[in-house]
Amino acid sequence: MKSVKLYPKIARDSFLEQFKWSIWFFSFLTLAHVIGMFIANRNDANVEGFFVFSSYSAAIFMLVCGIIAAFGFMAYFVQHGISRKDMFFGVVIGAFGLAIAVTVVPLAIHGIEHLISNFVSMPVKSDSLTIFERTSGWFSAIGVFFLNVFTYYLVGWLIGIGYYRFNWLIGLGFVGLAIVALSLNGFFWGEAGLSTIIPWIPYIPTEASLLMSVIGSLLLIAVLIIATRMLTKRIPIKL
């Protein structure tokens, strides 16, 4: 038998499966956004543009996908005779693709919203609609969104594996780790949260140092990927 590399197949499969979920997710989110606009319209208020509007919930969606990946995909692939290594790289690549999709889809919806707003007046904050017009801002906004959702997926995966592999108590420890990781992520992107809790951590506004934020974020992603690989390298599969 020829040896075949299976991880591209797995990447494709895990991406497609989760992309299907994301279509459901964005359908509901779009609906929520439209409802939000109606409510805002009545109260003379404004809602965020779709891209900004979806950033938090998209991250949570990715977190959940990551958790499901640990319980759903991992064992399933190995049970069908796929090595943990192929499974791991397949799922990571699939998640990378998913993170791109989850960034591009709200961007596209945002673009459509932007087009419509040229003809119809909508209760959407004008500055959040202009990301397509500001040459400096839009690229970094998309990059930040992508890194953020990818990080959330990896964190979810790590939590899932913690629970899958160990008991609930250690699993809870993984949730703690996840909070640390996400706080770090927030810190890199200029959320003041961490610096108000831990006084010796300086507050770095994103605008001040985009490069540092990107490096920090990439480092965090690398650490998460390595940790997940170490935990799954020899993981026993439950029956």
Partner 1 sequence: MMEAHIKIDNVTLKFGKFEALKDLSLSLESNRIHGLIGRNGAGKTSLLSLIAAFRETTEGQVFIDGEPVFENADKMLQVSFIYNKDYKEEYEKIPQFLEFPEYYRPSYDKEYADYLLKRFKLPLDKPISKLSKGMQSALNAVIGLASRSPITIFDEAYVGMDAPAREIFYQEILADQAKHPRTFILSTHLVSEMDYLFDQVVIIDQGRLVLNGDYETIASRGASITGAADQVDAFVAGLKVLNEQKLGGTKSVMVYGALSEEDQQKAQQLGLEIGPVSLQDLFIHLTEEAH
Cα–Cα distance for residue pair 27/198, rounded to 1 Å: 39
- The reply to whether 229 sits near partner 1 by the rule CB under 8 A is no
Site for partner 1 contains 80 (CB under 8 A): yes
- Closest approach of Cβ 5 to partner 1, in Å? 8
Residue among 11, 25, 58, 86 that touches partner 1 (CB under 8 A): 86
* Residue nearer to partner 1 on the CB measure, 7 or 61: 7
Q: Phi and psi (nearest 5°) for 194?
A: -65, -40
Amino acid at 91: V
SS3 47: strand
Binder to partner 1 among 40, 64, 68, 78 (CB under 8 A)? 78
Residue 67 binds partner 1 (CB under 8 A): no
130 lies in the binding site for partner 1 (CB under 8 A): no
1 binds partner 1 (CB under 8 A): yes
With binding defined as CB under 8 A, does residue 165 bind partner 1?
A: no
In degrees rounded to 5, what are phi and psi of residue 124?
A: -115, 135
Site string for partner 1, 183-222 (x = CB under 8 A): ----------------------------------------
Check: CB of residue 123 under 8 Å from CB of residue 37.
yes
**Minimum CB–partner distance for residue 34 and partner 1 (Å):** 29
Nearer to partner 1 (CB atom), residue 81 or residue 202: 81
**Contact call for residue 9 and partner 1 (CB under 8 A):** yes
Question: What is the C-alpha to C-alpha distance for residues 142 and 127, in angstroms, rounded to an integer?
Answer: 15
224, 219, 214, 156: which is closest to 190 by C-alpha?
Answer: 214
List all residues 6 or more positions away from 15 whose beta carbon is below 8 Å from its beta carbon: 93, 94, 95, 97, 98, 101
The token pair that represents 37 in the structure block: 């606009």
Nearer to partner 1, 202 or 236 (CB): 236
**Among 81-89, 112-120, 124-132, 190-198, the segment contacting partner 1 (CB under 8 A):** 81-89
Binds partner 1 (CB under 8 A): choice among 27, 79, 130, 196: 79
- DSSP codes of every residue in 159-189: HHHHHHHS-HHHHHHHHHHHHHHHHHHHHHT
Nearest to 171 by CA among 163, 179, 160, 180: 163
Residues within the interface to partner 1 (CB under 8 A): 1, 3, 6, 9, 13, 76, 78-86, 233-234, 236-237, 239
